[in-house]
């Protein structure tokens, strides 16, 4: 069969097992976030480009290379598909008057992000993120809490082998001398750097530390350590974060090259890695986008976890959220018995079972063939004789054995048989 159109590169259809996983993980994340006093927020998939150009930095890869722009303009404004969640959440904070509510504000989102980058393992152009944001708090406990909650969720879903990589980027005061020394260091290797890093050295030298080119990694080892340049306030702030991480026994290591991909980060930044994977499963840090979006200070901290990456990790660890296969299929012999079969089907549902059926196939043989394809353990078969005797046949689909169950005792008998 020839299909005349295909899905865009780097995007995928969510069907079958992937769809079941998405629904299940979204429910788990929603319950977990609400339990921890985060309120749900959903921002538009389409945003004004200024939301991101003002926030992320003009020289970041997302702005310079990876944005999906909508064709044309509306009232002189350019719109794009949302590449990340944080800037949009801050925009929504101000636009919806959250500043007048009791502070800080804790929000979570679960939605699609779009980046025009080269698709590869763990990296799609359309991907789903779960984000946590604590807005309007300078307290280092907020930095710790965001990291801690991601770690706790991973443990909740049986992922143990992870480590948090931590760094502090300080503030503008700290970075001034650090950037001066960083530029001096890298100028000695300027001609040996990749073409992107040669540009970064002139436009945004901190981004060099985020380079993924193998040939540039060796220069990072002897590069100046930003932790040596922190001002007193930033040093105390980061030390308090580390003390909390130690107190609650969160597995972490310091990484002086960790800078993240957006210019808005300051002080604490983090990434969470799973053993054996070369991509971060969750990441984030502290920021203040209030000044650039609404001329108002808004010290905040947040992070996001990639859902597609999480699925890759769970598959590799053989951890499944696929709902347990329904053990019972309700079948009927002919159109006359279908209404009673549907009545039995509803009774099973009302008593905590998750039955399956195909009420659109009248042939009993076709129904049982369908049940076999689903891999179900048992089938309840309602025939004409059983209907007259207020009974039903229970068939073991694996061994072919069967027994007659009275309808008046059906629920009690099934609980014994299927426990």
Query: Structure tokens of 115?
Result: 């980046």
Confidence of residue 328 (pLDDT cuts 50, 70, 90): very high
Say how far apart CA 157 and CA 155 lie, in whole Å: 5
DSSP state of 413: H
Q: At what angle do helices 140-156 and 16-35 cross, to 10 degrees?
A: 140
Q: Are 353 and 366 in contact (CB under 8 A)?
A: no
Phi/psi for 52 (5° steps) reads: -100, -35
Count Cβ atoms within 10 A of the Cβ of residue 390 and give its class: 0-12 exposed, 13-18 middle, 19 or more buried: exposed
Q: For residue range 47-77, list pLDDT tens digits in order.
A: 999 998 887 766 666 776 788 899 888 888 9
Instruction: Give Cα separations from 310 to 30, 280, 314, 398 (angstroms).
Output: 16, 10, 6, 34
pLDDT given at position 305: 97
Q: CB under 8 Å to 219, separation ≥6 — which residues?
A: 186, 189, 192, 193
pLDDT given at position 323: 59
Q: For residue range 266-319, list pLDDT tens digits in order.
A: 999 999 999 877 789 999 999 999 989 999 999 999 999 999 999 999 999 998
Provide the CATH number for the domain formed by 328-418 in this structure.
3.40.50.800
pLDDT given at position 206: 86
Provide the H-helix boundaries in 222-301. Answer: 232-247, 290-294
What are the residue ranges spanned by the domains of the chain?
16-171+231-316, 328-418
> What's the chain's average pLDDT?
91
pLDDT given at position 326: 66
Whole-prediction pTM value?
0.87
Domain 16-171+231-316 and domain 328-418 have a common topology: no
The residue among 123 and 84 whose pLDDT is bigger is 84
Sign of the alpha-carbon torsion through 50, 51, 53, 57: positive
Sign of the alpha-carbon torsion through 144, 146, 147, 149: positive
Provide the CATH number for the domain formed by 16-171+231-316 in this structure.
3.30.930.10
Q: What is the largest CA-CA distance in the chain?
A: 92
Say how far apart CA 386 and CA 404 lie, in whole Å: 8
């Amino acid at each position: 069969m020839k299909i005349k159109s295909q899905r865009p590169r780097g995007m995928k259809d969510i069907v079958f097992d992937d769809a079941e996983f998405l629904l299940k993980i979204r429910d788990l994340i929603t319950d977990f976030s609400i339990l921890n006093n985060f309120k749900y927020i959903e921002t538009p998939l389409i945003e004004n480009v200024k939301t991101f150009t003002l926030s992320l930095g003009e020289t970041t890869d997302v702005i310079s290379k990876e944005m999906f722009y909508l064709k044309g303009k509306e009232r002189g404004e350019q719109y794009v598909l949302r590449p990340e969640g944080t800037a949009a959440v801050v925009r929504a904070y101000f636009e919806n008057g959250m500043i007048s509510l009791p502070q800080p504000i804790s929000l979570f989102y679960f939605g699609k992000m779009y980046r025009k980058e080269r698709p590869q393992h763990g990296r799609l152009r359309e991907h789903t993120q779960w984000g946590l944001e604590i807005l309007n708090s300078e307290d280092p406990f907020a930095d710790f809490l965001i990291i801690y909650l991601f770690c706790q969720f991973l443990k909740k879903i049986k992922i143990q082998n992870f480590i948090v990589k931590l760094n502090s980027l300080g503030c503008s005061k700290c970075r001034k001398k650090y950037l001066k020394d960083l530029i001096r260091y890298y100028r000695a290797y300027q001609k040996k750097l990749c073409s992107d890093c040669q540009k970064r050295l002139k436009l945004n030298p901190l981004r060099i530390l985020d380079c993924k080119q193998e040939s540039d990694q060796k220069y990072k080892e002897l590069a100046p350590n930003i932790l040596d340049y922190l001002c007193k306030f930033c040093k105390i702030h980061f030390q308090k974060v580390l003390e909390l991480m130690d107190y609650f026994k969160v597995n972490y290591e310091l990484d002086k090259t960790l800078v993240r991909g957006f210019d808005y980060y300051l002080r604490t930044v983090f990434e969470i890695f799973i053993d054996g994977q070369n991509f971060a499963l969750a990441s984030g840090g502290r920021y203040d986008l209030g000044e650039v979006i609404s001329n108002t200070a808004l010290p905040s901290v947040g992070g996001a976890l990639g859902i597609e990456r999480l699925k890759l990790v769970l598959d590799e660890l053989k951890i499944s959220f696929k709902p347990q296969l329904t053990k019972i299929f309700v079948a009927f012999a002919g159109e006359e018995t279908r209404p009673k079969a549907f009545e039995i089907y509803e009774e099973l549902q009302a008593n905590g079972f998750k039955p399956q059926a195909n009420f659109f196939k009248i042939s009993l043989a076709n129904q049982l063939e369908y049940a076999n394809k689903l891999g179900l353990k048992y089938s309840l078969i309602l025939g004409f004789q059983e209907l007259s005797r207020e009974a039903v046949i229970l068939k073991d689909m694996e061994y072919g054995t069967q027994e007659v169950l009275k309808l008046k005792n059906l629920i009690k008998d099934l609980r014994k048989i299927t426990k």
